[in-house]
């Protein structure tokens, strides 16, 4: 099934720019009830897409954690992504050409506001809960400030604000792209993208998404079949080229900058006081070996959000465990959902 697209006449960004003829790509499963109050929102990660049945198949479906028999489940593509929502690849109606390097800066809050406009267009009047990991977890936390609209929250593998550590990883990846001679400050031709730079950026990211233990167990010091490199080197090169085949460098740069804007207290007040104002029931999920968003960040959220509980997945895969250990995650979401959400329907 291909993504559906809703076009909004205009949308004003946090920075003040107003976009016209704005596409918002999404997928949905299940049926919206007559009251419009059985929606569940899934928020995808950095290079993710709305095809949740591909990357979270053990959570989505009849009788599962994201029960399509009971819920109207929606996943919309984020602003700046190449998968259908307005981005550097979208035609600027004022010029008739793709936005490319001229696409304005956006934030996590912009994406959440745009997705709310989409949901309201679809007839949604209440979201039972929002759920997502990494960049999806950032969106989930921003949904907390739509308390009139969203009842519950399941942020996974994320903190309340992007740390210097994470910003450092983002900047290193951007510099890899900028160092590619084909980058040309984002003015490259579609048929000559900075593939080498984007590939190296993805290789860096893949190291940060896993853990010492996972790489040791999977690769050790093994050599590839051709004996010209280590297995881990071949793996990283393969992952880099896979992303080049499906993603755009301008979008990657844009979205890493979006993630760096993540700070739920920005323009709202003291960080811990802002956390204390998040009243929705929440399941905050951490991963024991996550080096990007360590469990201390999730514990901080759970301790300061008054109706939150912490669940820690004991997994050796690192940050990506929320995409790998799906059965574990699903059971935790079901348990929380049965306590906090199911009574609402």
- 134 is annotated as an active-site residue: yes
Of the candidates 87, 134, 170, 208, the residue annotated as catalytic is 134
Structure token pair of residue 69: 């028999």
Structure token pair of residue 260: 């760096």
- Could you give phi then psi for residue 133, rounded to 5 degrees? -115, 150
Structure token pair of residue 319: 């940050």
Tell me how far CA of residue 22 lies from CA of 108, 173, 314, in angstroms: 17, 28, 41
User: SS in 3 state form for the chain?
Assistant: CCCEEEEEEEEECCCCCEEEEEEEEEEEECCCCCCCCCEEEEECCCCCCCCHHHHCCCCEECCCCEECCCCEEEEECCCCCCCCCCCCCCEECCCCEECHHHCCCCCHHHHHHHHHHHHHHCCCCCEEEEEEECHHHHHHHHHCCCCCCEEEEEEECCCCECCHHHHHHHHHHHHHHHCCCCCHHHCCCCCCCCHHHHHHHHHHHHHHHCCHHHHHHHCCCCECCCCCCEHHHHHHHHHHHHHHHHCCHHHHHHHHHHHHCCECCCCCCCHHHHHHCCCCCEEEEEECCCCCCCHHHHHHHHHHCCCEEEEEECCCCHHHHHHHCHHHHHHHHHHHHHHHCHHHC
Distance CA 289, CA 156 (A): 13
Of the candidates 110, 180, 260, 290, the residue annotated as catalytic is 290
- 179 is annotated as an active-site residue: no
- 290 is annotated as an active-site residue: yes
Of the candidates 199, 254, 319, 328, the residue annotated as catalytic is 319
Q: Name the residues annotated as catalytic.
A: 134, 290, 319
């Amino acid at each position: 099934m291909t993504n559906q697209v809703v076009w909004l006449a205009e949308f004003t960004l946090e920075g003040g720019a107003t976009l016209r003829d704005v596409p918002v790509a999404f997928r949905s499963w299940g049926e919206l009830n007559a009251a419009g109050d059985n929606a569940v929102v899934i928020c995808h990660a950095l290079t993710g897409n709305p095809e949740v049945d591909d990357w979270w198949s053990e959570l989505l479906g009849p009788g599962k954690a994201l029960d399509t028999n009971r819920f109207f489940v929606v996943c919309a593509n984020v602003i700046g992504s190449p998968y259908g929502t307005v981005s550097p690849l979208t035609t600027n109606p004022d010029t008739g050409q793709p936005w490319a390097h001229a696409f304005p800066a956006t934030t996590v809050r912009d994406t959440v506001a745009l997705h709310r406009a989409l949901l309201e267009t679809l007839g949604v009047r209440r979201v039972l809960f929002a759920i997502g990991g990494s960049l999806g977890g950032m969106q989930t936390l921003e949904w907390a400030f739509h308390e009139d609209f969203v009842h519950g929250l399941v942020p996974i593998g994320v903190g309340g604000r992007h740390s210097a550590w994470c910003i450092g990883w983002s900047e290193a990846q951007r510099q890899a792209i900028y160092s590619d001679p084909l980058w040309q400050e984002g003015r490259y031709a579609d048929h000559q993208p900075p593939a080498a730079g984007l590939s190296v950026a993805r290789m860096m990211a893949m190291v940060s998404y896993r853990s010492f233990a996972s790489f040791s167990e999977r690769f050790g010091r093994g050599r590839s079949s051709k004996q010209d490199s280590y297995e881990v080197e071949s793996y990283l090169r393969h992952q880099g080229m896979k992303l080049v085949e499906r993603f755009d460098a301008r979008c990657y740069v844009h979205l890493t900058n979006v993630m760096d804007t993540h700070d739920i207290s920005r323009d709202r007040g003291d960080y811990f006081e802002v956390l204390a104002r998040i009243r929705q029931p929440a399941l905050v999920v951490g991963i024991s070996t996550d080096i990007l968003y360590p469990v201390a960040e999730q514990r901080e959220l759970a301790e300061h959000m008054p109706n939150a509980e912490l669940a820690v997945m004991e997994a050796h895969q690192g940050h990506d465990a929320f995409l790998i250990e799906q059965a574990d995650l699903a059971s935790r979401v079901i348990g929380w959902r049965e306590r906090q959400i199911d009574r609402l329907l």
